[in-house]
Amino acid sequence: MKVSGLVRRKIVVALLMAALVTLPAQGAGFSIYEQGNKATGMANAFTAQADDPSAMFYNVGGLAFFDEREFMAGVTFMFLGDSDFKGVAPFPGPTQTGSQSDQIKVPIHAYWVEPISDDWVFGLALTTPFVLLTEWDDPDIWSGRFLSTKAEINTIDVNPNIGWQVTDNLGLGFGVALRISDFELTNRVPVINPFTLMVDDVAEAELGSDTETDVGWNFGVQHRVNDRFSWGFSYRSKVEIEYGGDVELTQILTGFSEFDDLIAATLPFDQGVPIRTSIEFPDLASVGVAYRVSPAFLVEADINWTGWSSFDEMVIVSQDDPTLSETLEFNWDDSNTYRAGVTWDVRGPGEWRFGAYYDETPQPDESVGPILPDADRVGISAGYGRPLGKRTNLDLSLLYIKFDERTTTTNMDNFNGTYETSTILFGATIGW
Amino acid sequence: MTRRQTTAAILTLALVLATSAALAQDTGTADFTKYVALGDSLTAAFSSGGLEATEQVVSYPAILHFQTGAGGTFEQALILEPGLPSQLQLFSLTPLIIAPGLGMVEFPDLTADPPDPGSFINIFLNRPYDNLGIPGANLDEALSTLCAEFDESPFYCVILRNPECEPLLTDPIGGQCLTDQGGTSSVEQGLSLSPTFISAWLGSNDVLGAATSGLVIEGVTITPLDSFTADYQQLMAMLTASGAGLVVANVPDVTSIPFTTTIPWFVVDPATGEPVLDSGTGQPIGLLAETSTGIRQLTPADLVLLSASEALAAGDGIPPQLGGSGLALTNDLVLDADEIAIIDQRILDFNDVILSEAQAAGAAHVDIFSFLRGLNATGVDLGGIQYTTDFLSGGIFSYDGVHPTSFGYAVVAQEFVDVINESFGGSIPPIDLGPFVFGVPGGIQIPAGAVAGAVLTLEARDQMLKAMGVPDVETLTRIQQRRDADRRPSRRERGRRDAPRRERPGQQ
């Protein structure tokens, strides 16, 4: 009888449990409300106004008021990576720090408005409502690497809509959205090295999903009461997407050749281990009121409510080996965002916009971790729009988001510390 | 690594810990101005079969001292590589070989000018150490053994101060005392420092010898309850008389440590790691061993010790038809159900004494027994890393299967911090586990060369027993046989004596 068989079995179980890693703890952070750069210029307080084709995202009720064909397309450059971490005791402790690597994510938006009768308007929207990218520098020494070195979520919504102008002042809209999404999660796999009795990275695990789809819907009301005052209500439904995918392990050598050989002989390297899971993207309700203070100034205030409380757990199922399945607890809360924006018509063809918002985090302390460290945020925006020709116009916006510095001492994976993040978004949209 | 580099690496670790708790912390009604630790190998930070500075600088008392930010130094009898005895290392996985590392400590040279401490870098401290944990000390020895009695364990002369003893000058194990009197016990030396706070973790060695030697011999490897009780009362009387704040810890379940739980009671197929099943019953096949009730097959109620690995590798305990020698594992390599029952009950009895004495004295009480049970059940999860009590792959226990690793000692220290905070109303901050998980600059050396043997060699076992103050197995076996001869032999015992006993070559 050899002890080695027992050791091997125990190492294997430990390894394979660690390989199936936590899937995204999500945050307001990856809900992207920036789907049009006129709106973004005024901190996306746009539900009551919604007077360009991006209305199909902000308040589809506004679609009803179009009487000519229009197109709009734009991009937002998200400058990510200004995010730092410092540990607190007991783990990983103040000697451990980390920072995210600089990344640029480019959500796009595109809209086509096509009136089909006096009262009915058809529209097609392409938006990227949820985007996440967190990647940590120096993954070899990043103390959170066994939870996450990189997390990425992509979505695109293909969203046809109908607007109905009920009266001169009242518009209703309705649409369905096909959400197309994939995600990727990478982390390191830890095993205690019997030669040192300390932890070593023995593999990199990349969990990659297939591209999956599911359907949601949206609804909006916009009431342009008079020349000065309008209000709006918008609702976008939840979408739950079921993902297939797999985990692929790539070996990392420790330098202890016997141990490396043992690991190589027991782990399924360079082959996909299939898994299934799902993400329930939250529903979103918005209310806004806009008031024209003077010919030059318009003010709007909005409240968004995001239904993140439906995101309480994520079940990961491994088809090949039920012992590798696990359920992850998140316990998120519904959250509100408070927005205010102004438009300022200067002399000349252009218009300036300014805005600010306060975004509550849905993420409780125990979920704050390397995959997405969320916090309450403040956003400040500025934007400028002007016509470029007879039928074309350009909107530019700049948005600076500052997260509250946030410390967790109750993280569910016992990975505690302080996170500090800020983000800059720059966007440009052309309409014609 | 040279001695200087090793010292630097060890002191770097100590510094990392110090800076993270540099400010005086709120310790409630506990005063850590002068903290002294009494205990045994667990207090000294004995690990992987030897006492070595890498673990000593992060003994739980040293960590406790750092965490309270009380300031000043915390003196310990630091010993550089390869440790005393030479610490066990893992030489290879296939075959699985754990054996003492090569090399030997450098003994002090008192003839040098100035005297050279050798590997014992703190040996010339002219007062008692603050950490008076002595590997091998049971409760009675902590109370009464002097430096002069170096036969008990090699550590008395290293750790206890006595100007009459010149430590390690001529005899590497003992030292030479110029007088057979003088000197004081570890408890007396601790009290002589006028401590304001004392931790006392004693009693483990009053039962551990039975578990590691596989032989339960009353008064030799396991202490009788009445003498333990009287000694513990005496200990508490001395400690309370000092007026210092007190914390005591109880005895862990020595039948639930890797040394006793790693090797299963049944025959294992080396290719799969699975038990070999009896073709008739479909059940695992118990190993054959000598027990208190004669030679029989083991059952789930029995335990096989880690020290049995050499014999198992030679085929002992395994029937010939499965490729074994057919010879029974000797009594010292197993703990049968009857022996376990005695040990388990004794631990419960000892712990009852410790608890009631602690309560009577108003001392804080660390329930290590329950703490180890919790560690066995759930381990420690940190940021995706799982630490368990498994041998070799768990990270909490060291190569001897008895003592923790540095990480294990840090987790124990946190338990002390939690109890002290609760009992004394303090808010000592949590210990920074980052350095214990990720290491400090200095690195780990891969041992050169290999020592023939298998898993835990008998040499390693014997060395560890000696370090822990337990007589060697041959002596214990003779004692047990003498005792058995005094009783009327039963038919079963006659059968045991007639059973073939494997010759062990090279045993002294």
Determine the 3-state secondary structure of A219 from DSSP.
Answer: strand
Q: Is it the case that residue A209 has pLDDT exceeding 70?
A: yes
- Give pLDDT, residue B159: 87
CB contact under 8 A, A2 and B431: no
Q: Within its chain, how far is the Cα of A387 from the centroid?
A: 31
Question: Quick one: closest CA in A to B323, which residue?
Answer: A1
Rounded to 5°, angle at Cα B491 from B490 and B492: 90
Condensed to tens digits (0 to 9), the pLDDT of residues B347-405 reads 999 999 999 999 999 999 999 999 999 999 999 999 999 999 999 999 999 999 999 99
**Top-ranked range on mean pLDDT: pick from A24-28, A222-226, B479-483:** A222-226
Question: Quick one: closest CA in A to B269, which residue?
Answer: A1
pLDDT, chain B, mean? 83
**Residue B21 class from Cβ within 10 Å (0-12 exposed, 13-18 middle, 19+ buried)?**
buried
Mean pLDDT of all residues in A197-219: 94
Q: Is it the case that residue B440 has pLDDT exceeding 80?
A: no
Spell out which residues of chain B touch residue A87, defining contact as CB-CB under 8 Å. 434
φ/ψ (deg, to 5) at A340: -145, 135
Question: Quick one: closest CA in B to A86, which residue?
Answer: B434
Residue that wins the pLDDT comparison between A321 and B90: B90
Q: Within its chain, how far is the Cα of A90 from the centroid?
A: 30
| % of chain B beyond a pLDDT of 90 | 57
Question: Quick one: closest CA in B to A147, which residue?
Answer: B384
A137-141, A309-313, B54-58: which range is least confident on average? A309-313
Condensed to tens digits (0 to 9), the pLDDT of residues B214-266 reads 999 999 999 999 999 999 999 999 999 999 999 999 999 999 999 999 999 99
B115-119, B424-428, B433-437: which range is least confident on average? B115-119
Token readout for B280 is: 């008739």
Domain ranges, residue A240: 3-431
For residue A349, how many other CB atoms are within 10 A of its CB? 11
**Interface mutation target, options B16, B276, B432, B455, chain A, most CBs of A under 10 Å:** B432
Condensed to tens digits (0 to 9), the pLDDT of residues A243-267 reads 999 888 899 999 999 999 988 988 8
Q: Considering the domain boundaries, does residue B317 fall inside one?
A: no
- CATH classification at residue A195: 2.40.160.60
Q: How confident is the model at residue B178 (pLDDT cuts 50, 70, 90)?
A: very low
Q: Is it the case that residue A1 has pLDDT exceeding 50?
A: no
- Give pLDDT, residue B12: 54
CB contact under 8 A, A18 and B271: no
Mean pLDDT of all residues in B187-206: 95
Say whether residue B286 is in contact with chain A using an 8 A CB cutoff: no
- Give pLDDT, residue B94: 77
**Closest CA relative to residue B328, chosen from B154, B99, B153, B502:** B502
Token readout for A377 is: 């945020």
Q: How confident is the model at residue B468 (pLDDT cuts 50, 70, 90)?
A: low
Say whether residue B409 is in contact with chain A using an 8 A CB cutoff: no
The answer to whether A147 and A187 are in contact (CB under 8 A) is yes
Q: Is it the case that residue A403 has pLDDT exceeding 60?
A: yes
Q: Is it the case that residue A324 has pLDDT exceeding 70?
A: no
- Give pLDDT, residue A302: 95
Residue that wins the pLDDT comparison between A200 and B442: A200
- From residue B216, give the alpha-carbon distance in Å to each of B83, B206, B493: 29, 11, 16
Residue that wins the pLDDT comparison between B484 and B445: B484
Query: ipTM of the predicted structure?
Result: 0.85
Number of domains chain B is built from: 1
- Give pLDDT, residue B165: 58
Residue that wins the pLDDT comparison between B423 and A348: B423
The answer to whether B119 and B2 are in contact (CB under 8 A) is no
CA distance B249 to B239: 14
**Residue A407 class from Cβ within 10 Å (0-12 exposed, 13-18 middle, 19+ buried)?**
middle
Determine the 3-state secondary structure of B306 from DSSP.
Answer: helix
Q: Is it the case that residue B453 has pLDDT exceeding 60?
A: no
- Give pLDDT, residue B171: 44
Spell out which residues of chain B touch residue A417, defining contact as CB-CB under 8 Å. none
DSSP 8-state assignment for residue B266: B
DSSP 8-state assignment for residue A16: H
CA distance A151 to A147: 10
**Closest CA relative to residue A175, chosen from A130, A127, A212:** A127
- Mutual angle of helices B406-424 and B60-68, in 10-degree steps: 50
Say whether residue B313 is in contact with chain A using an 8 A CB cutoff: yes
Condensed to tens digits (0 to 9), the pLDDT of residues B395-421 reads 999 999 999 999 999 999 999 999 999
CB contact under 8 A, B391 and A7: yes
Q: Is it the case that residue A272 has pLDDT exceeding 90?
A: no
Give contacts of B 341-370 with A, CB under 8 A: none
Question: Quick one: closest CA in B to A22, which residue?
Answer: B384
| % of chain B beyond a pLDDT of 70 | 80
Token readout for B302 is: 């029995």
Q: Within its chain, how far is the Cα of B375 from the centroid?
A: 17
**Closest CA relative to residue B106, chosen from B96, B117, B93, B95:** B117
Determine the 3-state secondary structure of A348 from DSSP.
Answer: coil
A77-91, A264-278, A413-427, B350-364: which range is least confident on average? A264-278
Mean pLDDT of all residues in B14-25: 57
Nearest to B309 among A3, A5, A8 (CB): A3
Spell out which residues of chain A touch residue B286, defining contact as CB-CB under 8 Å. none
The answer to whether B300 and B265 are in contact (CB under 8 A) is yes
Condensed to tens digits (0 to 9), the pLDDT of residues B293-335 reads 999 999 999 999 999 988 988 899 999 988 889 899 999 999 9
Domain ranges, residue B230: 3-254+340-438
CB contact under 8 A, B383 and A10: no
Mean pLDDT of all residues in A144-172: 95
Say whether residue B60 is in contact with chain A using an 8 A CB cutoff: no
Say whether residue B382 is in contact with chain A using an 8 A CB cutoff: yes
Q: Is it the case that residue A369 has pLDDT exceeding 60?
A: yes
CB contact under 8 A, B92 and A199: no
Q: Is it the case that residue A21 has pLDDT exceeding 50?
A: no
- Give pLDDT, residue B332: 94
Looking at the complex, report in whole angstroms how far the Cα of residue A140 sits from the nearest Cα belonging to chain B: 11
Nearest to A94 among B20, B90, B264 (CB): B20
Residues 6+ apart with CB under 8 A from B112: none
Token readout for B68 is: 């309270």
Question: Quick one: closest CA in A to B276, which residue?
Answer: A1
Parallel, antiparallel, or unpaired: how do β-strands A97-99 and A212-224 relate? unpaired
Token readout for B467 is: 């370090």
User: Tokens 């050279």 — which residue?
Assistant: B116
Question: Quick one: closest CA in B to A90, which residue?
Answer: B432
Number of domains chain A is built from: 1
**Closest CA relative to residue B77, chosen from B104, B59, B100:** B59
Question: Quick one: closest CA in B to A199, which residue?
Answer: B437
**Interface mutation target, options A3, A4, A257, A259, chain B, most CBs of B under 10 Å:** A3
Buried b vs exposed e over A350-377: b needs ≥16 C-beta within 10 Å? ebbbbbbbebbbbbbebbbbbbbbbbeb
Helix and strand totals (H; E) in chain B: 18, 16
A-B Cβ pairs (cutoff 8 Å, strict): 155
Spell out which residues of chain A touch residue B386, defining contact as CB-CB under 8 Å. 14, 17-18, 190
Beta bridge partners of B121: none
CB contact under 8 A, B432 and A95: yes
CA distance A203 to A21: 13
| % of chain A beyond a pLDDT of 90 | 72
What is this structure's pTM?
Answer: 0.86
Token readout for B147 is: 């430096």
| % of chain A beyond a pLDDT of 70 | 92
A134-143, A303-312, B251-260, B466-475: which range is least confident on average? B466-475
For residue A126, how many other CB atoms are within 10 A of its CB? 17
Residue that wins the pLDDT comparison between B465 and B85: B85
Nearest to B394 among A1, A192, A196 (CB): A192
Q: Within its chain, how far is the Cα of B130 from the centroid?
A: 19
- CATH classification at residue B405: 3.40.50.1110
Q: Is it the case that residue B444 has pLDDT exceeding 70?
A: no
**Residue B226 class from Cβ within 10 Å (0-12 exposed, 13-18 middle, 19+ buried)?**
exposed
